[in-house]
Each structure stands twice: as structure tokens, then as C-alpha cells.
Structure 1
Amino acid sequence: MQGTEILHKQIETQFASAFTEVPDVPEYITENLNHKLRPYQIQALRQFIFTQERDISDMSYNHLLFHMATGSGKTVVLAATMLYLFKEKTRQNFIFFVNSDAIIKKTKENLMNEQSSKYLFKPEGIVIEGQRINLQLVDVFPEYPDKNTVYLKLTTIQKLHTSLDKTRENSLTYESLKRQPLVLLADEAHHINASTKRKKRKYTTDELSEKTWETTISTLLSLQPQNRLLEFTATINLENDELFDKYRDKIVYQYDLKQFMNDGYSKNVTLLQANQDDNDKMLQAVLLSQYRKYVARDNNIELKPIILFKSNRIPISKAAHRSFVELLQQLTIQHFSTIIQSGLATFQNQKSIWGKMYRYYQNMDYSKVIRDLQWDFADENILDANTKEFLEEKNSLSLNTLEDPNNPFRAIFAVAKLNEGWDVLNLFDIVRISEGNTNTKKTTDSEAQLIGRGARYYPFVYQSEYSFQRRFDTLPSELKALETLHYHTINDSTYIKRLWKSLEEANIQVREDDYILKQAKIKPEFKKTELFKNGRIYINQVISTTKEDYQTLKDYNIQTEKELATDSIVETLYGTSTEIINTIQLREFRWDVEKSFIQKGIQRNPFFTFNNLKQYVPAISSMKTFIESPSFLGNTAIHVSLPKDFQLTTYQKLSLIDNFLVYVERNIKNNYMKTKGTPIFEGVAFSELINDYYVEISKVNANVTNMDEFKQPRPMRHFDWYVYDQAIVNSWESSLIDFINEFMGELKSKYEDVYLIRNERKVKIVEINGTRGFMPDFLLYLKDNDVTYQVFIEPKGDHLRLQDQWKEDFLLSLSEREDIEILSENDEVRLIGLKFYSTTTTYKNDFREDFEKKLLN
């Protein structure tokens, strides 16, 4: 698989093919983690497992890098890889290293302290196949390890290097580490690349140290072929040719900050520029922080928002701390009233966060607000991160448990100790104190890094739902304040220009503190139409499955005649060169799987014990039935592509049946006792599903945002076939409207009524006999003398086509299935699904052909 393309892209390409069985994340991983894995974390683990299940993993995939954004949960992925390597590869010795003692303390809490709110494993302990697994901290690894124990050494890279370089009693040695396989876990791994980065340049003093660290790690990895080095970082510069050459065949998964923020897993970031002095700026920030707390309280949400006051020198930070305490102690009702009235005069008619805040305070009891401020921000609830005491473990851990209800801190005064390794979710305000117009690139780069860390999303329960993603981007809600990080800074053009540049380089999406709330209204003339008054939109009914629905493996969406990939066989024979592999002649081979291989595969997979399997497959009476019945595995056949004249060995056949049974297991679990869509479509009154809607349009930094996905209002008043007065759409949705407009003359000559309807989170259809559902972006309503047509249309960006292919398949099936039943007052209603619309020429031509064939010809 090696070549010029980055490893993770090679894997993703293989996953998208029909010949590669995508590995699932084992249940023993998900069952032993304290938090549900997010989709991108699952994908990261699947791609990692894929490399480790290859025959060439010791040679080609012993050193891998997870390039994942700050806040994306790299440590959760790290913990999951430990469980996998222990269970599947019997690895017991792990060394976690990083360049900072603070991160070591944080990681110790995450991996070892069952009482910590950030403990990564289930508090009741790690259990695999009924066995309790112990996770034990060590300085050296035991010569005779206990079977059910994972041994973990936590250390800095500096200490690890020194320990190996200068051997002492009861310390690690290269000789001792040769005896057992070793897994190296490198966090903030960009610190161990000095030798690679500086091949052609002179080293600085610090880089000379880092060069020796890189050599140490390389030596440890090479001690055994079974050793593994897994690196985790959010920061790697692939524009550097040396780093690209080193890591292009090692980046097993990439999920950068831009994608992380676009997917909604972070807070939004907003810059607040002001010319105020420090005291006014600090007071405004405190009022904003307390406003967040009140909004959360009003919505039954537990939240203790944190403010970070950042300075460039310790004396300035300490002076600001003293001023802050005095400011709140001396706050009076008269002063507070003056602040609110002044704010209202300035922001009364604005929809910015300031306008919302001042209008909120306007109707509150000022004396109560002051009491709350003085209580919440009392000096004992302020953390000075500049003192020697801060370096003690107690205060350092307090900084990493700020979300805990029993952690009293609401504000932090700091200089530069918080940029790397700081893990906090409830930071909502960063206030820049007394820095004048300091605007060097080093300064703004550091601030961008801090902003990136502060943008970690704070998950909360709202209306009984818990979410790790933003929910209010396009909704007019005060709860936006709980999904936004505000960076309070000076209004200096040179500094702001440099900061924007640093933010762009860091791929941090930034919004200005202003937005326009756009409303799409149904046109008055459309409300007078028969369609709006009496028309119906057809969506399919959903039912719960029963045990009787599962009589054969087909009921679990399982094919017992299955095509599997054998690329590992080809690579073992011919190497991984793409040029060579492309020249190999392959033949199609059908293997009718013998019962003995199925029995052996089942014995190797604990899911297929009868007692466990019976819970998911109630139709079987014995394992004999499951193995031999044509309704189950009796007629299993595997199709593979093999080099000419090559014969499968017994070992290779067992590997194929193992992969096939993983596929069977996954589909059995995913499809048993779920709610499923039916082919019965019933009409819902048009006016119930189609009504006015709002979309919030923000000014976004175009350089770090995918502008194709950025929604913009488009006037549609003069297009009588569009039911809303404007379309609030992204680039490919707007392109679809242009496409429809091109054909409007032909459509109107063929149909009496033609209406294009934007579906804004209302009309949902569910896969027939499946559990997946979605809301097509557009409905095209057509009516002639005899028939009413409801056409589902979905514009799709090319980067989403593969993962959403099932949606297109579902849409296309609506025109082809014979079992579709439409419950309507007249029988002349037809449902049509079209191929995805895309702006790419090839896909657009495919859509055009489908459109003309189904709607015009």
C-alpha cells in the first residue's frame, strides 16, 4: 500500500471499494470505555485495526501517526488502541511519553484515577471475555508478567532518554526491553522530529536535545519486529518535505482542526475587539460569563463558565488580578445600573452577544446580580497560574478538572503555562490584558494555539438530549452563548491582521460578533394554491421489528455469497509497489466454504457461542442449524480475486472465513430488533411540514471555511415555481436551483403545476427494511392531468458522496420497487428519486440524464 499517496488516503480508498471488508471496532473496546466513541474516533480505530490485521503489519505498520485536532479525543483513541493491542496482539508493556510533566499528570488522571471525571475506562474496571484486566503503573517492566495485567510507564521523553542513556539500578535498559514486545505511545509527537526537520539545516540548542530524543525512540522501536510506535499529535507540518517523506506512509488517520470545527465538534470562535482599558474589559467579560451561567440555568443546564485573563508578563498578570478583585468588591448598584444603561444605548438594536446580554440584564434584580458576581468571583475562586504553588500537583490538577462541580474556580490569571496539554471544556472567554499592540508572529501564533484549545466543545443536556456537537448554529437561540468562545482583544489593526493570519494558518474558523437572521417565507400567492391548502407530502411509515422478522441471514442484510478482498496475499507475494501490483493478472475464484472451515472460524470468534448467538438469532435451535441450514451458513460461498495459478492455503482460507464471520457478526448486531422503514407511504398535510423557517447567516473567515458549504440568501421572489421568497443555500444547492431553472420551460410545458420546495428539517424518509433515515434537501412537486409526482432531490458535495451512497441507492429504488404502496385519496401519486446532484461535470451529466429520463421523456 505504500506509495506517494498518504497512508490514510490509501486506506480510505480501499474502504470505499467493494473488495475490502471494513473492520468493526470490537465490543470489548466500546464496552470498556467510559464514553461513547464519536464517528470519527470509530473511523480512526477502524483504519488502525485494518493495518494491524495485515500480514505485513510488523514490517509496514509498526510506526503510525494519528493526526487529530486538539479537543478531538486523541487520548480516548490512545486508550482504545491499548485495549486492542493487549487483546489481539497480547501486548502488555506500554510506555507513554511526552515532553511535559503537566501532560503526564493529566494522562495519569485520565488512565489511572477511577474517581476522576475524565477517567477514560469504565469505573467498575476493564473486563475482557469475563476476565478482569488490571492496569498497573510501573517504573520497569516485570520479567514475568501476570497474564491479565497491562503494564504502563508514564514518563517524559527527557527522562526516558536519560534513563536509557545513563543506566542506573531499577531503571529501564535497552537490554531488558529486548525481552518482550513493547508499545510506545507518543503524545504531542511533533516534539520528537528535530532530526527529521533539520536534516539540511543547523540545530538550535533545544533541537540538539530533541534530536537525541528522536534517535532514542527509533532505537526502542527497532529492538523487536513486534514493537509498535503510535504517535498522536494535532500539529504536524506536512509542508516540510522531510516530515512529509517521514510520515506519508505512517499517518493512519487524519482529522484536522478545520474538519473538526466544520463538523460542529468545537465551539464557534468569535473575536471581540475593543478600545477599553483593562478594568472595563475585565468587567465586561465577567458580565458575559455570568450571562452564560444564567442562560444555562434558565434552560436547566449545569454550567460553570470559566474566564482566562491572559497577560504577557507575570507582574502585569498579578496587578490585573488585584485590580479585578477590588473591582468586583467595590461594585455598587448605581455603577452597575450605569453600565447596563450605557450598554443598552449602544447595543439595544443589535443582535450581537452584547445586545443579547444587556437586554437580559435589563430586567434583572441588580442587587442579586452583584451578590452573585461577588460570590462566584471571590478571590478564593480565582486561580493564579503564575505562582510557584501552581506547579504543585494539587493546583495543576485543579486546572484540568475545571468542569467538575466541586471545583470552585471561575477565573484564571496566567501568562504562558496553558498553551500545550491544557484540557478544559468550559472555557468561554479569553481576555487579553495590558499587552498594548504587541503583534509579533510568535505572539499571535501562541494566541491562536490557545484559542484552538479553548474552542473545545462543552457537552450539555438540553431537552433530554446530550450532545458533543453544536446544535444552534442556524437557530435563533440564546443557547448560542454556550457554543461560542469569545476572545476579547485590543482594537489594533496591525495586531488584528497578524492574529487573523495566525488563525488562518492554524485552520481555526473565526466568526465576527455579528450575524443576520434570515427568514425564508412561503410566498403569499403559494399559500392560496390547492397544493398548500389540501396537498400532501408522502413519507414512509416506520415500524418496530419483531423476532419473527428474523428467519434467515437475509433478514439481517447478510449475503452468504460474499466477495472478499485478498490484497494482503498479493502484497505478500509481490510487495506493496502500486506499479507492480497493477501489472498482476488476477482470476476470479469461487470458494464453496466447507463446513469444517465454518466450524473452525466459529470456534475462533467468541460471539458465535450458542448462548450468545441465540440472543440475536432466535430462529436457530442449535449450532448445527446455524452452520448447515441454507437459511443461515449452509450455502456460504466466498468470491476472491487471486493471481493466476495461485492456490489458497489453509491458513489463508481461515483468514478469509474469519473476515467473513466478522461481517456476519456486525450485521447481526446492527440489524436485530431495530425500527425500520416500510414501503408504505402515507400523506401528511402540506401545511404541517412546509412553513416559514429561519437561518442565521454569520460572517465567516473565508480562508479557513469551506465556502461551498457556507449558506447565503438568494432572492427567489420572481421565480414563481419556488415556494419561498428566498433560498438560503450553499453553493451546490444554488447550482441545483440554476439547473432546475434551465429546464423550467420544458417542465411547465409538460406539467400543469411545477413547484420546487426546500426541505428544512421537516420531511424525513427511512430506508425500506432498514433503520437509516435522512431528509432530502429538495422536493420537486409535479402534476399533470393524470398523476402527481413527488420527486426527491439531494445535492451533494463530492467529499460526501461515498459515505452517503446508501442515500442515493435508496432514492433510486423508489422508482424501481414494486412493493411501494402509497396511501392516498386517489391512486395517481408516484414517488421518484434522482441521482445525487453535483457541480462536478461527470456527476452533473449523470444527474441530467436521470432527470431528463424520469421527468421529461
Structure 2
Amino acid sequence: MFLYEELDNLRKYRAIQPLPPCIRDSLNPRMPLRPYQEVAFENFVTYFQRPGGPKRPCQVLFHMATGSGKTLIMAGLIAYLYQQGYRNFLFFVNLTTIVQQTRDIFLNPGSAKYLFAPEILVDGHRVQIREVSNFQSSDPEAVNILFTTTQSLHTDLWMVRENGLSLEDFAQTPVVLLSDEAHHLNVSTKRMDRAEAASYHSWEETVHRIFLTREDNVLLEFTATCDLANPQILEAYRDKILFNYPLQNFRADRYSKEIITLRADLSPMDRALQALMLSQYRLKVFQANRLPVKPVVLFKSAKIQESAAFQAAFAERLRTLTGGELERISTLIQNPAMRRAYAWFARRGISFDALAQELREDFSPEHCISANDDAAAERKQLLLNSLEAPENPYRAVFEVKKLDEGWDVLNLFDIVRLYETRQSGGRRISASTVSEAQLIGRGARYCPFQTAPDQPRYQRKFDRDLDSELRICEELYYHCQNDSRYIAELHSALREIGIDPDRTAPCSLRLKESFRNSRFYREGLVFANSRVPLDPGPDADGLPAALRERSFPVTLATGASGEDLVMDSVPLSEEAADLRTYETTFRQLADLNYAIVYKALIRWPAFQFDALKRRFPGLSSTRMFLTDPRYLGAVRLVIRSRYDMPPAQVLRSAAEQVLGTLAGALASVQEQWTGSREFHPRRMAEVFQDKTVNVTDPHAGGAGISQNDHTVPAAWRLDLSRELWYAYEDNFGTSEEKALVAAIHAHIRELQAAYDAVYLVRNERQLSLYAFADGARFEPDFLLFLLKRQDGGWVQTQVFLEPKGTHLLQEDAWKEQFLLQLEEQAVPVKVFAGDPSCRILGTHFFNLERRETEFAADLRRLIDGPPCEA
């Protein structure tokens, strides 16, 4: 049994330690913890604090998918272990570029990906994060982090140098070792010949020599690719894998993009131009939904020389690109994604000539970046890791292998393979294909966005809705040659790293013509409520008083300087800064120079006007937010610098820092919601239409399979195309959903005798309800409409039905409670005098094991009860 499985068992018996407050409080509030990350922290705390403690020294591995937040886990554990008395932290990884990236997100509060809170408090004590070159200069009150590569660490330990690291440095005080991409450590573990291993010092041995210098040291390893197929590694790590969250879990929880391979019999250049058109379509869909996301395309070559040559040819081709060339490419290949893109352009009057002009500008050489040689990769690493930033100009990246590890990018949506060779060795997947799959895995990181406040920001939202234009914003396309053997090998490699591109199948839901032609469909109404914010109290029309009445100190541009001898730890000279204090408010800054505060404000997504308007309904403009004393106007900035009157650049930097703190404080104040009691009408024909949905893992008798399929149990098997009461041609739902449809069918004659018209409509996320208690979103699977003619119109009973598997009855109990509240609390709103009288209600869950009696009683009440009253 693995260590994480032992901890899972403890969780079942509620013997797991809760998440310590110091972890959440120390992390950037703009990066809320996900459920699986909380589990990772709880696992470590439980293991570290269990009776008798962990094995000493403490070594554990976090086996987590690329993009799942390993560095955030590191940051939280730094805060927790600081609370436990640790002060020295050694971060090491195999690539210099990853060291630079991690240093930035650990130390630079101005970074968009900074991991810590603006102010780190542990047990009421303010904690500083500082970088050190050795632990002899550690501050006993601070977090001291030494950043290095595994190779440099190995060299420093085995080649003694003055002022260099030595094993003695690690003997004085305990140290926490943070090993990123830890699979690179397993050099000697994999090696079978121990005599050969003893002939030289491996990286793994170096790390373990450091680790074993003290019994209270801690080694935290992080990787997405632990080679558990290797029996030596499996045995070594069975009792060390503390948390296991592989890519298949990450994808199943919808935290990644969906991955689609787009095969085409095109030349590499035409393939690249097709990818540009798809990228521009995605950009316009983002823009149409007011989402500030810039999609990026990556061009992958086999060799550096080939990449450089293609980049030059690409620049020349783009310089003279015409609409005729794009139109020619559109006639060569037919695939669903490109058909949607061309149709979208046509509907909005965007000609191929206009598209060519956009591509010439957006993908000009100024907007392309190469990462092909070591020097360039290091120099450009921060640019490559900030592609999402509004000020980052790049739309295209050219590379060979430099970005397979340590690349942190969210807005990569297209990867173009510019070579057509296969390197498979028989049954074995080639190393180059595995590398391509790993790059795809990095690109699969989800790019967070919301189009409605109740949507999850960091998860896919349109998995089943193939007709939504926003699906393209949740998909990564891999453009490659139309070679079936290569595609089969690539899919095998993707499955090997935890991505299965073959498990989904589309299902077409088509309304019957008889239902489309009915008066009820053409003129009828369906009622639903909305999600509304709870009255936030006295601060509804402004910032909380604790924020708007606060002064924020900022120290900038001090002018302090010094000189140091390279081989000496004592500074030659150090000049103290003579600081002045300048106090102002955001209102005064805006009066002085509005551009200063406006540019500082738009730096932070939390202050986009749409987000502010949702939080503060009385807000009329961004200027009002910056100048009105109820908002930012009276917030004071206390700026310490060497200037009596700081210049504009210093004022803007100060404003940015204070706004960053305010953004974090606002994010931590959660908005509270409720579902409205008023249910407003919408036209039936606008809500329920034909739809194509994706079904994951279709299986016999279940989701993705027709209700009339031979694998469906005989008692539930129906040819729904012949049943006029069922609105759609067929039902492809789960076995529980098929059982519900069969249950309605068993009582359909009684229902039709009691009412003049009966319709059962499948709700495929077309209609949402919001719980009265907390505004939680709920999409009942079916609506049953019961119509009774009365005085030239009709009286309508609208019933929400939800089949539920037994394993979900407890977890989703709130949904059943909400359904049962509808009859008493839902109020249908009439808009016009001729609107039907309506009653809205819900039933108990449909479940044959635990709810058969209750559901049957609900159905009997509908059959026997009187027609609903006006």
C-alpha cells in the first residue's frame, strides 16, 4: 500500500488533520486553494504531526500533474514548516530557467504569479522571504531560501571552494530541501550495477548526503512523472508518495484544456497558416465575450537549424500574406473546427482579405519569440513565462525542446508540428513522441475565465456543449500530418502520461418535428429563477471601512547602494538612504495625473469594471471608483523615497503595490448569493433547441447510448422517436436517466388522461436554477410540463425532475431539498396578461434503491391532484 492510500484510509475515518490557517493566510488570496490542494496539505500535516512523527529524516513525494500547482504547495509548506521552527530552505531543480522562474514567483511581489500574500503573518509574526547564497548568513526570524540547480549543488559540494557550500553548512541548523522535477534525482536508484554506481557521485547521492546530515531535515520532492513502472523506483517510493494527483485526475476534474489532434494533408507552412486562422478565431471569440485573453501559437521543429529557417520563412510569408492564400487553404481541408471558424468570420462580415491583414499585424516579427538556444531561453525565460500578461507582445513561439519542462503558460492553444517524420521503434513509443506528448501536457493547462459570476473560473465549463462558441476557448489543438500510424503512437504516448483523447463521443439531441410544430413549443414559456447577491449591508456602496480608512506604507527608490568583494562576505561600503515621506490619497493622485492611477488600476484583474460593478452596484465609472471617498478616493498612500515630490514612475509603482494589496483583501471577502424566489418566463423555443453534446466514456446501456439500444435493460428500452410526449428523438443519458424516462412512460396514459398535453423535456444545461439557501447553481435533468386548457388559454404545471445515483444521494442532498422547496416558495412572474397561469414544483430524487416510494407518491399526486390554480 502506498503512503497516500494509508492517508486516504485515515480520511475515511475522519482521522486527518485540518488545514492549518497559516497556510491559507500566507498564500496569495488571488490564488484560492482547490480541493485537491487542500487534501495535499492535509496529508502532509497529518503525516508530519502523527503520533511518533514521520520517519526521520522526513522524505515525501508529491506526485502531481503538470499545471496542478506544485509550487503553490511548496509555498504553503514553507509557511507551515516556518511555524514548526524551520528557517532554512534549499530549492533545487535541474534547469536554470526553472530556478529563475521560481525565484521570481517566490520573491517578486510585482509578479502576476507571485505566490505569497502581500503580508505574511505566522502566529501574528510578520515574516520576510529572503534569498541567501549560503546558510551562514541566515536571518533567524525570516524564511531564508537558497535557489540553485542540481548540477551547481553537486559541484559546490564535491569541489570545495572558498565561501562555497559544504556539508558543514547543513550540519548547524535543520534545512528543508525542495526538489522540483524530482524524477531527475533517480540516477542511481535506476542503476542496477551498484559497483558502477559507487564509482562516481550522482546527483541523487549528493542530495541524500545533505538530507542525512541531520535527523530533523525534511526533503520534499515534486514531480509529475515518477517512473513507477521501474521496480526499483516503485519500491523506493512506495512509502514516500504522500499525495498522488496524476494528469488523468487533473483532466477528469476539468482543470485542464481538452486536447484535440488536428490532422491535415497540408504542407508545414499551410498547416501553420491554418493554425493562425484558428488562433485568430479564438481571439475574436474571447473578445466577443469581453475576455482579455491573447491566444498563443507554438511552432515545434525537430532541429534548431530547421526552426530558425522556418521562422525566417514564416516572417517572409506573413509579410506578403493575402486573403486569396487563406481562401485557398480553406478549400483544401474540411474539419469541424475550421468550418466553425470560417462560418463565424462570415457571419460577422470578416473577409479573407481583412483576416490576412490582421494576421500580418498580429504575427509580425515583433510578435514572435524564439527559445531555441540555451542563452536565448535563459534571457527570455521571464517573457516566455508571462505570455498571459497584457503587456506581453508575443503571439507565436518557435522552439525545439527547451520548453518541455518548467514552462508555465496558460494561454497556449495551438501547437504546430513542423516535421513529418516518425521515430517509432516497433512497439516502443519513441522518445521524441513522448517529448511531444509532454509538451502537449504543458499546453493543456487551463486558461481561467468566466462569462457569468456563478461559473467556475479555473475549470472547463463547456465539456458537453459542443454547440457553444466558447468551447474553442477550452481546447488545445495539436496540428500535425495526416499519418494514422503517427497519430496512433501519439495517442498512446498521451495515454501513457494520463491523457486519453479517445474517451469522448458526440451525441446529437434533435427535437421532434411534432414538438417543434406544437403551439406549446412556439408560444409556450418556461420559468426559471436567477442568482442574486445578498444585501451586503452598510458597505454595499463602497469599500469596507477597514480598507478605505487605512493608510498603506510603501518604500521605493531609496537610492541605497553598496560594493562587495566577490570572494568576501563583508561589504566594502554601504551607503544609507536619506528617506523622505510623501503622503497622498488616490483622489489627490488622480487630480495630479489621472493616467498614473488608471494605469496602476488596470494592472490588476480584480479591478476590471465588470467585476467592480457586480460587487458595487451603485458604481457608475472607473473614475468614480478611483476618486470617490466611498471607494479608493480617501485611501492614503505613505510613500518613503529619496524624493520630496516623487516622480510619476515612483507614484505609479506605489499605487500598483497598494492596489495589489487591496485586490487581495477584496478577493478574500467572498460575495454571498441567494436564488431569487421570483421565476421569470423565457420562450420555450429560445431555451430548448437541437444540441450536440460530448459524452465521456460511452458504455453499454449508459451515457452516450440510445434508449433503444439492445444493451439497455428490456424494462427501460424505448423507441422514443415514436413517443409524442418525449420532446427529443432519443435519450442518450445515464442508466438512471433512462430508468426515469421509462418510469414516466409507465404512467403516461394516466398523465394524458388527467391533462390535455404532457411533455417531458431533457435539460442539457439549457436551463439553470439557483438554490434559495446560497445561490448554488443546479441544472435538473428533466422538466415535465403538464398543460390544462382553461378559458381560451391554459394552466401549466412545470415539474423539475432529477434522477440520482445512490452514491450521490448524500452529497447532493441540498439539490433534493431545493426541489422540494419549489412548490411553496417559487413564484412564477407574469409579464403579459395572456401568459399562462403556472405552478412550479419539484419532486424527490428519482432513485430505484432509496427513493422509489417517495417518487411514486409525487407522481401519483400529479396524476390525482386537481389542475393547478391561477
Quick check: TM above 0.5? yes
| Structure 1 partner of 2:393 | 408
Q: Report the Cα offset of residue 432 of structure 1.
A: 1.5
Q: CA-to-partner distance for each residue in 1:520-541, whole Å, 9 max, x for gaps?
A: 4377459969999889879799
Secondary structure, counterpart of 2:222 in structure 1: strand
| Structure 2 partner of 1:84 | 80
1:555-566 pair list within 5 angstroms: none
| Structure 1 partner of 2:204 | 214
The whole-number CA distance in structure 2 between the counterparts of 1:21 and 1:783 is 55
The whole-number CA distance in structure 1 between the counterparts of 2:369 and 2:134 is 36
Secondary structure, counterpart of 1:220 in structure 2: helix
Q: Do residues 70 (structure 1) and 66 (structure 2) align?
A: yes
Q: Report the Cα offset of residue 502 of structure 1.
A: 1.0
| Structure 2 partner of 1:793 | 802
Aligned CA distance change for structure 1 residues 797 and 279 (closer, same or farther; 3 Å): farther
The whole-number CA distance in structure 2 between the counterparts of 1:204 and 1:373 is 60
The whole-number CA distance in structure 1 between the counterparts of 2:404 and 2:699 is 27
| Structure 1 partner of 2:812 | 807
Q: Report the Cα offset of residue 49 of structure 1.
A: 3.1
1:375 pairs, out of 353, 358, 361, with: 361
Aligned CA distance change for structure 1 residues 39 and 485 (closer, same or farther; 3 Å): same
| Structure 2 partner of 1:834 | 845
| Structure 1 partner of 2:263 | 273
Secondary structure, counterpart of 1:300 in structure 2: coil
Q: Do residues 776 (structure 1) and 780 (structure 2) align?
A: yes
Q: Report the Cα offset of residue 692 of structure 1.
A: 1.1
Secondary structure, counterpart of 1:35 in structure 2: coil
1:5-20 pair list within 5 angstroms: 6-17=2-13
The whole-number CA distance in structure 1 between the counterparts of 2:305 and 2:825 is 76
Q: Contact 1:526–1:532 at 8 Å: present in 2 too?
A: yes
Q: Contact 1:519–1:692 at 8 Å: present in 2 too?
A: no
2:40 pairs, out of 44, 57, 80, with: 44
| Structure 2 partner of 1:252 | 242
Q: Report the Cα offset of residue 312 of structure 1.
A: 1.5
1:127-166 pair list within 5 angstroms: 127-128=121-122, 131-142=125-136, 145-147=139-141, 149-166=142-159
- The one-letter code of the counterpart of 1:492 is D
Secondary structure, counterpart of 1:142 in structure 2: helix
| Structure 1 partner of 2:376 | 390
Q: Report the Cα offset of residue 188 of structure 1.
A: 1.0
Q: Contact 2:104–2:111 at 8 Å: present in 1 too?
A: yes
Q: Do residues 457 (structure 1) and 446 (structure 2) align?
A: yes
| Structure 1 partner of 2:411 | 426
Q: Contact 2:699–2:705 at 8 Å: present in 1 too?
A: no
Aligned CA distance change for structure 1 residues 37 and 528 (closer, same or farther; 3 Å): same
Secondary structure, counterpart of 1:727 in structure 2: coil
The whole-number CA distance in structure 1 between the counterparts of 2:343 and 2:852 is 53
| Structure 2 partner of 1:610 | none
Q: Contact 2:97–2:381 at 8 Å: present in 1 too?
A: yes
Aligned CA distance change for structure 1 residues 521 and 17 (closer, same or farther; 3 Å): farther
Secondary structure, counterpart of 1:420 in structure 2: coil
Aligned CA distance change for structure 1 residues 16 and 32 (closer, same or farther; 3 Å): same
| Structure 2 partner of 1:605 | none
Aligned CA distance change for structure 1 residues 545 and 295 (closer, same or farther; 3 Å): closer
Secondary structure, counterpart of 2:386 in structure 1: coil
The whole-number CA distance in structure 1 between the counterparts of 2:101 and 2:417 is 26
Q: Do residues 305 (structure 1) and 295 (structure 2) align?
A: yes
- The one-letter code of the counterpart of 1:758 is R
The whole-number CA distance in structure 2 between the counterparts of 1:813 and 1:370 is 53
1:50-129 pair list within 5 angstroms: 50-59=46-55, 62-86=58-82, 88-122=83-117, 124-128=118-122
Secondary structure, counterpart of 2:248 in structure 1: helix
Q: CA-to-partner distance for each residue in 1:730-768, whole Å, 9 max, x for gaps?
A: xx3x44313651684367569946765433436666667
Aligned CA distance change for structure 1 residues 27 and 197 (closer, same or farther; 3 Å): closer
Q: Report the Cα offset of residue 186 of structure 1.
A: 1.3
Aligned CA distance change for structure 1 residues 364 and 853 (closer, same or farther; 3 Å): closer
Q: Contact 2:702–2:732 at 8 Å: present in 1 too?
A: no
Q: Report the Cα offset of residue 137 of structure 1.
A: 1.0
Q: Report the Cα offset of residue 719 of structure 1.
A: 3.7
The whole-number CA distance in structure 2 between the counterparts of 1:673 and 1:384 is 43
Aligned CA distance change for structure 1 residues 133 and 325 (closer, same or farther; 3 Å): same
Q: CA-to-partner distance for each residue in 1:125-175, whole Å, 9 max, x for gaps?
A: 43446643211111211376332x100011122222333344433233333
Q: CA-to-partner distance for each residue in 1:604-633, whole Å, 9 max, x for gaps?
A: xxxxxxxxxxxxxxxxxxxxxxxxxxxxxx
Q: Report the Cα offset of residue 499 of structure 1.
A: 1.3
1:724 pairs, out of 723, 728, 741, with: 728
Secondary structure, counterpart of 1:488 in structure 2: strand
Q: CA-to-partner distance for each residue in 1:368-401, whole Å, 9 max, x for gaps?
A: 544433333333433232246414x322332222
Q: CA-to-partner distance for each residue in 1:559-580, whole Å, 9 max, x for gaps?
A: xxxxxxxxxxxxxxxxxxxxxx
1:131-530 pair list within 5 angstroms: 131-142=125-136, 145-147=139-141, 149-198=142-191, 201-202=192-193, 212-331=202-321, 333=322, 336-340=323-327, 343-344=330-331, 347=334, 351-357=336-342, 360=345, 363-364=349-350, 368-387=354-373, 389-391=375-377, 393-440=378-425, 441=429, 442-460=431-449, 462=451, 467-473=457-463, 474=465, 476-510=467-501, 518-521=508-511, 524=514
Q: Contact 2:281–2:341 at 8 Å: present in 1 too?
A: no
Aligned CA distance change for structure 1 residues 522 and 690 (closer, same or farther; 3 Å): farther
The whole-number CA distance in structure 2 between the counterparts of 1:482 and 1:116 is 25
Q: Contact 1:194–1:208 at 8 Å: present in 2 too?
A: no
Q: Contact 1:58–1:225 at 8 Å: present in 2 too?
A: no
Q: Contact 1:271–1:511 at 8 Å: present in 2 too?
A: no
| Structure 2 partner of 1:609 | none
Q: CA-to-partner distance for each residue in 1:813-835, whole Å, 9 max, x for gaps?
A: 977x9996676999999754237
The whole-number CA distance in structure 2 between the counterparts of 1:756 and 1:740 is 8
The whole-number CA distance in structure 1 between the counterparts of 2:220 and 2:440 is 27
Q: Report the Cα offset of residue 321 of structure 1.
A: 2.0
Secondary structure, counterpart of 2:134 in structure 1: coil
Secondary structure, counterpart of 2:7 in structure 1: helix
Secondary structure, counterpart of 1:117 in structure 2: coil
| Structure 2 partner of 1:738 | 739
Q: Report the Cα offset of residue 235 of structure 1.
A: 1.0
- The one-letter code of the counterpart of 1:243 is I
The whole-number CA distance in structure 2 between the counterparts of 1:26 and 1:245 is 34
Q: Contact 2:528–2:768 at 8 Å: present in 1 too?
A: no
Secondary structure, counterpart of 1:352 in structure 2: helix
Secondary structure, counterpart of 1:229 in structure 2: strand
Aligned CA distance change for structure 1 residues 781 and 180 (closer, same or farther; 3 Å): farther
Further displaced range: 296-305 or 533-542: 533-542
The whole-number CA distance in structure 2 between the counterparts of 1:518 and 1:713 is 11
The whole-number CA distance in structure 1 between the counterparts of 2:816 and 2:731 is 23
Secondary structure, counterpart of 1:59 in structure 2: coil
Aligned CA distance change for structure 1 residues 368 and 675 (closer, same or farther; 3 Å): closer
Q: Report the Cα offset of residue 856 of structure 1.
A: 7.2
Q: Contact 1:812–1:832 at 8 Å: present in 2 too?
A: no
The whole-number CA distance in structure 1 between the counterparts of 2:199 and 2:408 is 27
Aligned CA distance change for structure 1 residues 493 and 100 (closer, same or farther; 3 Å): same
The whole-number CA distance in structure 2 between the counterparts of 1:159 and 1:504 is 35
Work out the percentage of aligned pairs sharing the same amino acid.
31
Further displaced range: 530-539 or 100-109: 530-539
Aligned CA distance change for structure 1 residues 260 and 521 (closer, same or farther; 3 Å): same
CA RMSD of aligned residues (A): 4.6
Q: Contact 1:97–1:186 at 8 Å: present in 2 too?
A: yes
Structure 2: where are the runs of 5+ without partners? 539-666, 708-718, 789-795, 829-835, 862-870
